[in-house]
Amino acid sequence: MKNKLFLILMLNCCFCLPAFSQVTNIGNSDCGEWVATSKTNPAMRAWLLGFMSGVNAGLSNPKNDRLSKINSAAQIFLWMDNYCAKNPLKSVHEGGNELFRELGKN
């Protein structure tokens, strides 16, 4: 039984790792790729929301929840669309950091 479970886990890893590596590399994508594919690639948008949520959880505190200034995911996507249109050589990761900094301004 343990051997079958081990085999199943190993096969899952073999099939899941390539997909996982594509998702984890999205932050390194440049803004040109964001502009070209973000509307048709839900993984890019999901990555950005997860990134923003993670940064917010790690760097904000309950009294200063920066994402509380955001009303919808569409606002984040629109902000990134505008950022990337102006900064095509920057990365999606850099754009997320810049948005987080802007949300910290009073």
Tokens of 51: 């990134």
* Distance (Å, whole) CA 38 – CA 58: 25
* Distance (Å, whole) CA 77 – CA 26: 14
pLDDT, one tens digit per residue, over 8-46 is 444 444 444 344 444 456 667 889 999 999 899 899 999
Indicate the pTM of the whole model: 0.74
Tokens of 98: 């810049």
Asked if pLDDT for residue 81 goes beyond 70, the answer is yes
| Mean pLDDT, rounded, for 78-85 | 96
Average pLDDT, the chain: 79
* Distance (Å, whole) CA 53 – CA 30: 20
Asked if pLDDT for residue 3 goes beyond 80, the answer is no
CA triple 93-96-101, angle to 5 deg: 130
Number of C-beta neighbours around residue 104 at 10 A: 12
